[in-house]
Every structure is written in structure tokens, then in C-alpha cells.
A = this chain, B = another copy of it.
């Protein structure tokens, strides 16, 4: 991680055979698939990776296997978010020993924390980590949003090298960008893919976009169009991304439609198993057929 990371970093799904077992062959195909698509790094054990639904040991397995397959071809970011600071540190240590490049940390998510507690938590946690850290904002799931001033404060520690925002709040995203404008070598990524192009046009580092699991080249192309300020191409590709969001992620009206849709698509494309860890379940045949049609109707050339 010598230089600042930018581009498309897929938040990798965790291919599973059941609640206890990785689909390792699927994981291999998935990693080769996203590398072939041109992505700029890989992020495992995030929300799209269902990290919280996996046992500690299964998370460790995922780190080990991904690192082995990836074999340093791309930067590897590892989610260590947990409600226990000790288990977070253990995961980070394991990631370090497995050859990961950085860790990604969202706040503890059982108890709601305030801003002073966030600052204290990270001032406690970060010195205990061997790897550089990205902060991860996911307020719907963690019950707290990093105030821009909190990010600035925590980032006085140079081990903090970036921020990923999955709040979908565009005003907030620009506020963080503004607050951090004088900090060098600090990456700011956006989670929701609907917003990726527009924030890159305004200077953001890139996207940690779930759709890049399925169609990595599309997201890389859209990122490149935005990074080179090719607005015409941005608008053309944005329509494709929006078609994905409004079809593949919106089948059924489950809270988990997005996760189901991503894994179902990967299964339909022959990449990996579509098993979802408890408390969720994969799509039934009828819903899977809707995903199949949605993919068929995409015209990605």
C-alpha cells in the first residue's frame, strides 16, 4: 500500500456451501473473474461478504484462502468489524500474518456509540493493529455515522489511510471529502454504486461496489470514464448500472434482496454457490428466474 489506492474494489461475496463451509472452488473462480475484469483491489469480509453472519473461524478461513488465491496480485483489504475489540484485533493479526495489505473497520454495532466513544474506540484499537486501516461508515447497520470531524480526528494517526462510506448520503459524502481535503494520501470510497461515477467526477477515489462481483469490467469502465471526465460515456454506463440496481437488486421486497440478487447472479453465471448465511436464504426458483431474465436483458457491450 505504498501509494494511495483508487479505482474499483469489489466487496467480495463469501462463496459458501453451507453455514460452516467455504465454496473454495467458487472463491477461486470469483477472484479470477474480478481480476480479469480489471479491478484495482479486493475487499473481503464486508457487509456484502456477510462477515457478521460467519463464525470467527470461518472468517479466518476466508482470509487465508483469499490471500492464497490472490497471491499478492492485487491489494487485499480485510474487514475486521466486530462487536468485540479483542476479536477485531485477532482478525487483524490473522490478516496481517496471511499477507493482507490493510484492514477495514466499521464501529461496533450492538451498542450504539456516540462521537466521543468512536474516537476513544479507535484510539484504543488502531495502535493494536499491524496493518493500515480504512474506516467504514455503515450507519444503518452500526447505528452511528462518523461525523466528519471524528474522521479527521481519528485520521491524525497516519495508519488511517482511507474511508469507505456506505451511508448513501451524498451531502455527507461531500462533507467528509471537504473535511479531509488537506490530508494527503487518504482515499475516500463510496459504497452505493449508483453514486460512484458522480463522486469520482468530483474527486473521490473510487467505489466499493457490490455489482463489481458480477460485472467487474462495467464498473471499471464506469470508473475510468469518470476519472477521465468523459461525461458522455459516464452517462451511457451509468444507465447500465442503474438497470442492474433496479432489476437484479430489487427482486422480491426483502431487506436482503441485494445480497440474494448478487449471489444468485454469480450462481447463474457459473461463478459460485448462491448459499446465503443465516439469517438469510437464497432465492427460490421463481425469484432466480427473474434474476436470470434481468441478466439476459442487460446489454453490457
Q: Does A178 contact B (CB under 8 A)?
A: yes
- Contact at A141–B110, with CB atoms within 8 Å? yes
Q: Nearest Cβ in chain B — how far from A117, in angstroms?
A: 5
Q: How far is the CA of A203 from the CA of B234 in the complex (A)?
A: 11
- Contact at B242–A110, with CB atoms within 8 Å? no
Q: How far is the CA of A179 from the CA of B90 in the complex (A)?
A: 44
- Contact at B194–A174, with CB atoms within 8 Å? yes
Selected A-B contacts with CB under 8 Å, 21 pairs: A53-B83, A53-B84, A53-B85, A55-B86, A58-B84, A107-B279, A108-B279, A109-B109, A110-B141, A111-B255, A111-B280, A112-B140, A114-B255, A117-B256, A125-B278, A148-B246, A169-B169, A169-B170, A170-B195, A175-B242, A178-B243
Q: How far is the CA of A126 from the CA of B201 in the complex (A)?
A: 38
Chain B residue numbers with a CB within 8 Å of A120 are: 279, 281
Chain B residue numbers with a CB within 8 Å of A98 are: none
- Contact at A118–B199, with CB atoms within 8 Å? no
- Contact at B170–A173, with CB atoms within 8 Å? yes
Q: Does A215 contact B (CB under 8 A)?
A: no
Indicate with 1 or 0, residue by residue over A153-171, a CB within 8 angstroms of chain B CB atoms.
Answer: 0000000000000001111
Q: Nearest Cβ in chain B — how far from A52, in angstroms?
A: 4
Q: Does A185 contact B (CB under 8 A)?
A: no
Indicate with 1 or 0, residue by residue over A50-87, a CB within 8 angstroms of chain B CB atoms.
Answer: 00111110100000000000000000000000011111
Q: How far is the CA of A254 from the CA of B120 in the complex (A)?
A: 14
Q: How far is the CA of A238 from the CA of B171 in the complex (A)?
A: 12
Cβ < 8 Å to B, chain A residues 125-164: 125, 140-141, 148
User: How many A residues touch the partner, as a band?
Assistant: 35 or more
- Contact at B56–A56, with CB atoms within 8 Å? yes
Chain B residue numbers with a CB within 8 Å of A281 are: 117, 120
Which applies to chain A's interface (DSSP): helix, strand, loop or mixed? Answer: helix
Q: How far is the CA of A239 from the CA of B175 in the complex (A)?
A: 10
Q: How far is the CA of A239 from the CA of B256 in the complex (A)?
A: 37
Chain B residue numbers with a CB within 8 Å of A256 are: 111, 117
Residue from the list B117, B231, B243 in contact with A201, Cβ < 8 A: B231
- Contact at B242–A174, with CB atoms within 8 Å? yes
* A58, closest chain B residue (CB): B86
Q: Nearest Cβ in chain B — how far from A92, in angstroms?
A: 13
- Contact at B55–A90, with CB atoms within 8 Å? yes
Q: Does A93 contact B (CB under 8 A)?
A: no
Q: Nearest Cβ in chain B — how far from A89, in angstroms?
A: 9
* CB contact under 8 A between A117 and B52, given known A175-B242, A197-B202, A256-B111: no
Q: How far is the CA of A65 from the CA of B148 in the complex (A)?
A: 41
Residue from the list B55, B108, B193 in contact with A53, Cβ < 8 A: B108
Cβ < 8 Å to B, chain A residues 21-60: 47, 52-56, 58
Q: How far is the CA of A16 from the CA of B53 in the complex (A)?
A: 27
